[in-house]
Structure 1
């Protein structure tokens, strides 16, 4: 069976996601859309050069966003122009991106596949797209990137390889993220996590990357690739995604089997539980303000 993936957005993130998917070989066809057909075709041509050079089998097609609805999964990485003056508050892009996400949701209303939102503030944009499109399988990419960074930070501190560390970062993809320190393990054994130090490391990392190369690209692309394999049923496993959880939209672990996902919230200690509740309330308040933007 042919696997088709659509990517909407030809900016820095959209380009890197497209490159990553093409190189991975997980799709038989990529549908590439952007604000204009000129942008979509330019990205298609650039990727076609890569495809020919590497001998990749994936076919490429530049198109309008409405033409991507035949895809099994869509990756949305559109971004309006704005300057984020709050490096540690990912919600600052909300007003700039909300109109574009709402409009795109309406244009794609009735789509029955899986939608991965990369556009920031990702938790708010995932909810906005879901509500404006009516799509039932919408996930925000954010908490899985936070979790990867968490494991890397612990690996750096402890000298233990990151693949031996199990733990989650949930809640907001932003300054109210919840580090699940109480259930973090190394090879199945509990680990004493220096939460304050780790929190600072996680908060500083995006700004450090952006100041050096302009914007984070590869981390989000890796999170997208991992999630696509799960939602398309190409692999089973657990990753952290923004989805609806008891009336809130925020990051929780999702366990996928044969492409079907189920939220699996870890056991939280009282401090983590309070922070998780506060994170949900914060995002709800921010979303209510965002919903008034037309």
Structure 2
């Protein structure tokens, strides 16, 4: 099996994920699928136009479900018809119905790889995909709080004037309203941000609000968000294809809570190697449990 990646959904997010994969040379073939065939073909043509400009040659196929048989990864990037919604849970009825139609088509191709879900509400949709596909929970996961964690690193880095890559730590829980910054994990150069004793005293609640509002601010300005999530997904795809066993905050199955939820997990060739328990404070443990209940209630209502 080569480095073939299927992307279901050729909208802003699916297309920018494909763009990231092509420009970084992370796969050999992309199967781009959308119910709007004209859009899918246009996106595929533009990606092929880049062939002489990028380091690696990537074959682009359009609306070929049969080709998913050789895919090692399928990215679920189906979006709602209406984007301007404050709560991602409002998208659930529409996106879950589409996912239920698409997953049988994926599995009928003979696909036997890993499914990564971007589709919102990310955590609930990951559970829907796993149930409909019958794949092991380890081989289905969502992008979870990967983007939220990147936003947190940006906010913290900008406040302290350091490169966001020098910030470590996690946003956990739902990729949505009940998420929380696990400040007990957030460090700069090994030093806890919450215990910073320099001239700049961080306002942690205000910084948390900036993290949560980041996506909404982008959405109001340009109508959608795609660069960050497309790049985050490309990193996850690379981790699976290369067997990197890299730790990411993704939406992975939590056996105790009985939900997919944003948490640090090792991502490698088989999908989720294992989730990594985090030593959270009592307040953070309560926030995690509360977020799990939000996800669980949404899934149970389907």
The normalised TM-score by structure 1 is: 0.92
Please give the alpha-carbon distance, in whole angstroms, between the structure 1 residues aligned to 2:55 and 2:269: 29
Q: Secondary structure at the match of 1:169?
A: strand
CA 1:130–1:90 in structure 2 vs 1: closer, same or farther (change >3 Å)?
Answer: same
Distance 1:118 1:268, change over 3 A: same
State the Cα deviation string for residues 240-289 of structure 1 (Å, max 9, x = none): 11121021211111123565521002110000000000000111011111
Is 1:95 paired with 2:107? no
Residue 178 of structure 2 is matched in structure 1 by 176
Q: Which runs of 5+ in 1 are unaligned?
A: none
SS at 2:41's partner residue?
Answer: helix
Equivalent residues in 2 for 1:1-294 (5 A)? 2-54=2-54, 56-82=56-82, 84-85=84-85, 87=86, 89-109=87-107, 111-136=111-136, 137-192=139-194, 194-246=203-255, 247-256=258-267, 261-289=273-301, 291=302
Compare 207-216 and 255-264 and name the one that shifted more.
255-264
For the 8 Å contact 1:84–1:93, the answer to whether it is kept is no
SS at match of 1:116: strand
Q: In the alignment, is the contact (CA less than 8 A) between 1:4 and 1:30 conserved in 2?
A: yes
1:167 aligned counterpart, secondary structure? strand
Cα contact 1:84–1:92 (8 A) shared by 2: no
Residues 150 and 55 (structure 1), Cα distance of their counterparts in 2 relative to 1, 3 Å cut: closer
User: 3-state SS of the aligned residue for 1:106?
Assistant: helix
Distance in 2, matches of 1:256 and 1:18, equals: 20
Deviations along 1:91-145, one digit per CA (max 9) or x if unpaired, are 1111111100111122223632111111111111111111111122111113011
Q: Which consecutive segments of 4 or more residues in structure 1 shift more than 4 A?
A: 257-260
**RMSD across aligned C-alpha pairs, in angstroms?**
1.8
Count of aligned positions:
288
Relative contact order higher in (CA < 8 Å, ≥ 6 apart): 2
